[in-house]
Structure formats: structure tokens, C-alpha cells
Amino acid sequence: MGKEDVVVKTDEMSASRASGGRQVLRQPAEVLHAQELAHLRESDRDERPHGWTLSPRAVRAFILGTEAAKRSKSGPEPVRRKFYGDDPLVDRCIVTLMSNRGLLLVGEPGTAKSMLSELLAAAITGDSTLTIQGTAGTTEDQIKYSWNYALLLAEGPSTRALVPAPLYVGMKRGAVVRFEEITRVQPEIQDSLISVMSDKVIHVPELEGDDAVVFASKGFNVVATANIRDRGVHEMSSALKRRFNFETVRPIDDRALEIELVRRQTDELLAGAGIQVQLPPDVIDLLVTAFNDLRRGTTDEGIVIEKPAAVMSTAEAVAVGFAACLDAYYFGDRKLTGEHIGRQLIGTVLKDNADDGKKLAHYFDVVVKPRARRAGAWDSCLIARKGAPW
């Protein structure tokens, strides 16, 4: 093994982190990073806004990490960076969530909008699971509250018969509620948020007295996400738009940063799967470079290529890296090669658009082939072209 090669340590504990004796495929951020959150809570000396479990500075440290900060050998473990690329964006998001407006993260698919909203909720509230998954079929019941009809018929309307949805719970608790893919929801249903966001109150007309009105506790706010590729924000009413501060999350444009991110997240996924794969740096470099070339439509050598319609996001790059590692582990000799990446790349680019196949074949011919003469990883990547379905 080369000196620079890294062997991922198997983390049996994290792989088998159980929930009620059951192994969970993916833990929420507050469970995954419970130690870091506990450490930040202990060392947090700054003022916390009402209802927040951490101060704004500690929320920022949780998301952007404290690795760069100098610490003594005996000092606490640094907190790992989780979001890369746009630090001022994170500050603006934190400030918005302290204000009386909601936060709407918009951007291309795979730019970590959902991840950022989860991290914000985990750090601010300690719970990222108060989440509404927006779809065309989302109803007001799924956002606010519904009823247990057996109890409703037997006893009439009561708080016992009320089934709270994330917004109701978040308002009562003073928590950050996540609204994923808000623009997929019918505009009339989206608009049920308008009064909630401005008056911070939910009316329950079926109940009487104090139970008929739920006032939001301090700490309540909404962080929503919207993907501009499929269904933009244009259908959102102006009234609702006014209740949100829009923040655009952009793809990472720094290659070195993207390499670090892909390497780290692949490492974490491998540790979670409980397997060890050698990740040679030149292969990770190849993966990120190929994604950059196809995303930008031009290469470092100045070759112009046609961009595929498929999304070439960092999230996809991580997914390709992890899948290639699984291929290397179960079908290869546990060392990642350019061929493993090439095989997964084909599956990522070739989705439903036949033209993307031609564009990728062209990329292999005019970019991968010349590079293959110079570098081993690219040479190995070229082998994948033979098995491609075009």
C-alpha cells in the first residue's frame, strides 16, 4: 500500500449503532453527532437565544467545524466540518432562524440543502426529525394536525383525539421545523403557512378554550428547502415568499475542497457499512475532476464538452465514490481503481436521456483517452468504457 493511501478504519460501533436493538440505516444528525453536540453544549459560554439549545456561535461551530482553530493537546476534540464551501451563507441562515422570518434554502439538486437544514435543526433544537416531506399529495393535515377518528367518534374532539403534525409540535415545543421540498406542495396548501408564519399561531376550531389556539413558543421557526431544477419557486405565492428569507445554496466551486469532502464522506459511509477499502488519492482526484469537467462543460486542458442533462452534483460524486468502493470491496481486491469509478459514472450519467450516453462516450474519447496515456487511474477508468451500454 502506498504511503499516501488511506485505509478506512472499521467503526463497528457506528456501524452497529442500534435503535431499540435494531440497526438503523441512517441516523439523524443529532444522534450521529451526539458527542460533538454534547461537547459544544458543555463548552458554550455565549448567550443563547430563547428556546435554542446552543448559542449562534456554537451552531456555526457545529456546522463549519473547529478543526482549523488552534487547540492544546489536552483540549477537547475538535468538531468536524460538515458543510463546505460557503461559510457566510451558514451565518446568514443562523441569523434568519433567530429572526421572525423563516429560512428557505433554494438551489440545484445535491447541493446539501437538506443536509444543512438537518444540521441547523439538530444544533438549534436538538431534534431534526420534526420534518414535513413536501409532495404534490401533501395535505394541511400532514402539516398542522389531524384526528384519531376512533377517539374522535367515541369522545368528540379533544386534545387526546388530536394527532399533532410537525408544525403543531414545533410550535408547542419552540423547535425548528423542517419543510422539505416545499415547492412540490400545492400552492393553496403552502399558503396555510402564511398565518402561522406571521401570527405564530395555529387555530384548532374543533376544540374549545385554551386548546383552540396554539401559540408558538420561543425558538419556533421553519427551515424549508426547494429544488430549482424540477419545480421552481415561481408558483409560491408572494405572500408566502415574503415570510421567508431566501438563501441560494450553490455547488462547490473549489476542487480541493470538493476532494476533501468526497474523501471524508466516502470514509464515513464506509465506516458506517463496516468495510475497509483503500482509497488512492489519484482515484479520488479522478472522480472529482470528472464530475467537474461534466458539470462545467470544459476541462483543464481547455477541451469543450457537452454537459449531460443528468445532475452532476457533489452529492452524486459521493454516491458514485461509495458505490465504487462497494464494487471494489465485494468484487475486487479492496482497492479503489479508476475502473470502479468509470463503471459507476456511467450509471449516474445514463438515466433517461439517450443523448447523455453520446455525451459521455464523447467525454471518454476526447478527455479520458488522452489522459489515460499519462496517468494510471485514467487508464484504468478507460476500461469501463468497454462495458458501457452505448
Q: By CB under 6 A, name the binding residues for ligand ATP.
A: 83-85, 107, 109-115, 225, 227, 252, 261, 265, 314-315, 318
Tell me if 117 contacts Mg ion by CB under 5 A. no
115 binds, among ligand ATP, Mg ion, none (CB under 5 to 8 A by kind): ligand ATP
Q: Between 113-125 and 34-43, two packed helices, what is the crossing angle to 10 degrees?
A: 50
Pick the closer one to ligand ATP by CB: 101 or 231: 231
164: left (phi over 0), alpha (psi -120 to 50) or beta: beta
Give the residue, chosen from 114, 125, 265, 266, that forms a contact with Mg ion under the rule CB under 5 A: 114
| Residue 51 contact, options ligand ATP, Mg ion, none, Cβ 5-8 Å cut-off depending on partner type | none
* Three cell numbers, residue 9: 478504519
Binding window for Mg ion (CB under 5 A); candidates: 58-66, 109-117, 282-290, 360-368: 109-117
The least CB distance from residue 78 to ligand ATP, in Å, is 17
Helices (H), 207-335: 238-242, 255-273, 281-296, 314-331
Q: Which of 114/292 has CB closer to Mg ion?
A: 114
Instruction: Single out the residue of 379, 337, 382 nearest to residue 361, CA to CA.
Output: 382
Q: Which does 252 bind (CB under 5 to 8 A by kind): ligand ATP, Mg ion, none?
A: ligand ATP
CB of 174 to ligand ATP, least distance (A): 25
The rounded distance, in Å, linking the Cα atoms of 70 and 100 is: 35
Pick left, alpha or beta for residue 221 (phi over 0 → left; psi -120 to 50 → alpha; otherwise beta): beta
> Does 266 interact with Mg ion (rule: CB under 5 A)?
no
Instruction: State the minimum distance, in angstroms, from the CB of residue 248 to Mg ion.
Output: 14
Shortest distance, position 276 Cβ to ligand ATP, whole Å: 20
Is residue 314 part of the contact set for Mg ion (CB under 5 A)? no
Residue 385 interacts with, from Mg ion, ligand ATP, none (CB under 5-8 Å by kind): none
Question: What CA–CA distance (Å, rounded) separates 90 from 220?
Answer: 18
- Angle separating helix axes 56-64 and 87-98, nearest 10 degrees: 150
Using CB distances below 5 to 8 A depending on partner kind, what does residue 265 bind out of ligand ATP, Mg ion, none?
ligand ATP
- Euclidean distance between CA atoms 44 and 61, whole angstroms: 10
User: Interface residues for Mg ion in 75-104 (CB under 5 A)?
Assistant: none
| Residue 377 interface partner, choices ligand ATP, Mg ion, none, CB cut-off 5-8 Å depending on type | none
- Smallest separation (angstroms) from ligand ATP to the CB of 274: 19
- 46 to 5, 37, 87, 105, 237: CA distances (angstroms): 41, 15, 20, 26, 38
Residue 225 CB, nearest approach to Mg ion (Å): 5
Nearer of residues 132 and 214 to ligand ATP, judged by Cβ: 132
CA 70 to chain centre: 28
CA–CA distance from 2 to each of 5, 147, 279, 287 (Å)?
5, 62, 10, 19
CB contact at 8 A, 351 and 335:
no
Please give the C-alpha separations between residue 364 and each of 274, 345, 376, in angstroms, as whole numbers.
33, 11, 15
Distance in Å, CB of 216 to ligand ATP, minimum = 26
Q: For residue 40, what is its C-alpha cell?
A: 459544544
**What's the one-letter identity of residue 377?**
A
**Residue 244 site contact among Mg ion, ligand ATP, none (CB < 5 to 8 Å, cut-off depends on kind):** none
Strand partners, 19: 22
Residue 131 sits in the site that holds Mg ion (CB under 5 A): no
Closer residue to ligand ATP in complex, CB, 341/367: 341
By beta carbon distance, the residue nearest Mg ion is 114
Tell me which of Mg ion, ligand ATP, none is bound by residue 219, counting a contact when its beta carbon lies within the kind-specific cut-off of 5 to 8 angstroms. Answer: none
Nearer to ligand ATP, 250 or 362 (CB): 250
Count of helix runs (H) and strand runs (E) in the chain: 19, 11
Q: Residue 85 binds what, of ligand ATP, Mg ion, none (CB under 5 to 8 Å, by partner type)? A: ligand ATP
With respect to ligand ATP, which residue has the nearer C-beta, 118 or 293? Answer: 118
Helix (H, G, I), strand (E, B) or coil at 322: helix
Query: Taking CB within 5 to 8 Å according to partner kind, which of ligand ATP, Mg ion, none is near residue 78?
Result: none
Degrees to nearest 5, angle at CA 105 with 265 and 199: 135
Residues that bind Mg ion (CB under 5 A): 114
